[in-house]
């Protein structure tokens, strides 16, 4: 159980890094002004939740990796270290996206909900979460393949 949690957390951190590449590319292409993790950190820091604050970029990055690792750890527990099909990883990641960007993020007034937000930002975020899900499943399969003998995991 602890190994599944650990493998999931490590896989979640790797998947968050891959997702962040998509998000940075989307920002550089002009699809979104600020990274959502930075906006969430800005809202969490003292002062007006929509005004820029020192340290919000670093706090946003740390929080993003922490959330991605925790989500990966939960995924590791849910899959119990078994081979994970890519569609399961993608479905899990898109569930996180919808739960966050149609749920708690707009309820806290940090960003608009998915249908009310900039289409470009939501396209980038959906794509980023698909990349997170694929990377999460692949990393989990890679880490758990050594525990399962010579079984081919497809990664």
Model confidence over 43-73: pLDDT tens digits?
A: 988 888 778 888 889 999 999 999 999 999 9
User: Quick check: is 88 in a domain?
Assistant: yes
User: Quick check: is 153 in a domain?
Assistant: no
User: Quick check: is 57 in a domain?
Assistant: yes
User: Quick check: is 96 in a domain?
Assistant: yes
Q: State the pLDDT confidence band at 33, using cuts at 50, 70 and 90.
A: confident
User: Quick check: is 33 in a domain?
Assistant: yes
Query: Does the pLDDT of residue 149 top 80, yes or no?
Result: no
User: Quick check: is 131 in a domain?
Assistant: yes
| Secondary structure (DSSP) of the chain | -HHHHHHHHHHHHHHHHHHHHHHHHHHHTTS-SS-HHHHHHHHHSSS-TTS--TTHHHHHHHHHHHHHHHHHHHHHHHHTT----HHHHHHHHHHHHHHIIIIIHHHTTSS--GGGS-HHHHHHHHHHHHHHHHHHHHHHHHHHHGGGTT-----
Domain extent at residue 98: 2-148
Question: How much is the pTM?
Answer: 0.89
Query: Does the pLDDT of residue 6 top 70, yes or no?
Result: yes
User: Quick check: is 155 in a domain?
Assistant: no
Number of domains in the chain: 1
User: Quick check: is 115 in a domain?
Assistant: yes
């Amino acid at each position: 159980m602890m190994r599944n949690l650990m493998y999931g957390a490590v896989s979640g951190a790797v998947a968050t890094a891959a997702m962040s590449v998509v998000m940075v590319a989307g920002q550089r292409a002009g699809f979104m002004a600020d990274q959502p993790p930075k906006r969430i950190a800005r809202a969490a820091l003292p002062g007006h939740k929509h005004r820029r604050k020192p340290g919000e970029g670093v706090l946003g990055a740390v929080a993003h990796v922490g959330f991605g690792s925790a989500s990966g750890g939960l995924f590791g527990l849910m899959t119990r270290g078994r081979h994970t099909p890519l569609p399961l990883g993608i479905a899990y990641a898109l569930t996180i996206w919808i739960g966050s960007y149609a749920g708690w993020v707009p309820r806290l007034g940090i960003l608009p909900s998915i249908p009310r937000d900039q289409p470009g930002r939501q396209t980038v975020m959906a794509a980023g979460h698909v990349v997170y899900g694929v990377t999460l499943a692949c990393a989990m399969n890679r880490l758990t393949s050594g525990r399962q003998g010579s079984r081919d995991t497809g990664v």
